[in-house]
Structure formats: structure tokens, C-alpha cells
Amino acid sequence: MSKPIALVTGGAGFIGSHTVDLLLNEGFKVRVIDNLTGGHEKNIEHHKTNSDFSFEIKDICDLQNSETLFKDVEYVFHYAGIGDIVPSIENPVDYMLTNVQGTVRILEAARYQGVKKLVYAASSSCYGLADTPTREDHLINPLYPYALSKYLGEQSALHWNNVYSLPVNSVRIFNAYGTRVRTTGAYGAVFGVFLKQKLSGKPYTIVGDGTQSRDFLYVTDVAKAFYLAAISDKSGEIFNLGAGNPQSVNRLVELLGGDVVYIPNRPGEPDCTWADISKIKTELKWQPEISFESGVNMMLQEIDNWHDAPLWEPENIARATGAWFKYMSSGKDI
């Protein structure tokens, strides 16, 4: 019997590469496409001798309906897109092209080739400054272009589910972390920033007073949730995904160990993100397995992987976030 085939867009990236690991372990043949803007070949190089694995450097915006990559594919896991939040203020067109139009290209190719199920990687940023714990039916209020682009990509995916009967589920990720977390040239995810600072013997740059908390979920738990969303008989559903147990930035620094320096609090960012995960636990029988302490320890064991990451200090952070403060703190009610 031939093995089922899965396609992972952005499969050389952070969550995508862990999903590739899981799918191969589950007995799938896995095809990966990635333009390597945010992903790295080193994340998947351990699979290159595996006959069940293939990789193609390709931009999702260039996909055509007749793409052979989608031929005979059962499941598509769509992670590809621009993930850095702060630069979206300055580059909104890029985000809309990739995260919205690129998603439409994926949807059309999947529809044309008769894919069995597509799982879309959505973002909890669509909720804005949300009440917590946050349910899937919470008011939508994207406050910056990244959040808007991911939400419009999600709405496109659900539209293809409704109009064209392409089975789709969407998973709104809160705060994923873990080994291989993104380290692009843009100011971004707290773990990449802090681990490079630790390697360089620099203080951690804490935004505000560090009491703000995030619903951190380890990446292998994220990949398992996406897999369950794919194999489920449900479609047209939205699932919030977090640990349901927010952790403060101060707690993260305590686990990492080291000195700190404080930088201004950024407007438009929530004091707390906290996913209500009742739906995904009930309907997909998913449970988070990796504790925050264990996850941070696993990252510390591989800290040398952040050796080439950009070093962020108060001065260049201020320059990188200048547009953010300009547009997000101009007296508007956000």
C-alpha cells in the first residue's frame, strides 16, 4: 500500500519543520515548499536522504493551479507567509501579497488537485486587545497589517471551504516557541531576541515591566494540534491554540538567567494573551504535553543555534520600532 502524501508550505520554517518531523514519523510522504525568506534548509537537512521527503524552493505567490506538487496530496499544512509583526507597519503591501494572495494561490491549487484537507496557520493577533481567556467567537479587531493579513488569509480559506467545498480547518496560534524558532533580520519573537542576548552576554531587553504574559505553547504540541485538525472529519472550523497557562516575561527571564534592561512599553500590544482551549481539547482530543520549564530548557540545550541571529539592543530596537510607535500611539483609541 502506498503511503499518504502531505504538503507543508513553509516547511523549512519553525513550526513547518517540526510538522515535517511529525508527518514522517506518522508514515507520510512529505513534500515541502519554502522560499527560504524566513525558513532555513538546516531545519530539514536531516531528512534529505529520506526517500519519503522532497523539498522545493518556491514562492507561494508563484503557484499555479496545475502545480504537480499538489498531485495526489491528502493534506496541506499551510504555514508559509511573512511572520514578523513589527515590520508589517512599514511594509503592509508585502504582507497582503504574501499572506493573503499567496494563501489564495495555495487554496486554488489545492482545490484544483482535489486535496482532502487543508489546515491554515492563523494568528491570535486577529483578536487585538482581547478579553481573556479568549474564545473563538471573540470580537475580531486586527490592529496592525500583520494581524489583518493573517485574518484575511484565514477568511479566504474558510470561504473556499464554504463556496468550493475544499475542506479547511483554521488553527489560531497564540504564542508558539521552541527549537528552530525564527531568527530573521527583523526585530521579532522574544525567544530569538533573548537567546542571542544571552549568548552575547548582554542584558535582556524587557518591554515595559515584564509582568505582561503570553500563552506560550511548545512547538511539538503545536504540530500535533495541526495534525489532529487535518485527520479530523471536521471542516470549516476555527480552533484556538495555546497552553491555556500564560507565563510572564519575567518568568522567562528567571528561567534563562541573566541581567535585564527595560525599554518602553509598546502601544497596541496586550498585557496578556490567553487561549481558551476548551474547543480543541474537546473536539480534537488534543492536550498540551510540554511544560514551559521543560520547553525553555530544551531551547537552552540548543542555544548555540542562535549564534548567527541578529543582536538586538535598546538603540537598534528603538530604530526598528520607530514606525510602530508613530502609527500605534497617535492618540487613536486602540
Provide the annotated active-site residues: 146
Closest CA to 302 of 171, 200, 179: 179
The C-alpha cell at 299 is 531551547
77's CB contacts (< 8 A; 6+ apart) are: 6, 7, 8, 9, 11, 16, 19, 23, 118, 119, 121, 226, 230
Residue with cell 515584564: 210
Residue with cell 531568527: 183
Question: Cα torsion at 298, 300, 305, 308 (round to 10°)?
Answer: 150
Peptide bond into 133 cis (omega under 30): yes
Give dist(CA 331, CA 79) in Å, integer.
34
Region of 139 please: left (phi>0), alpha (psi -120 to 50) or beta: beta
Residue with cell 480547518: 169
Helix axes 292-301, 249-256, angle to 10 degrees: 50
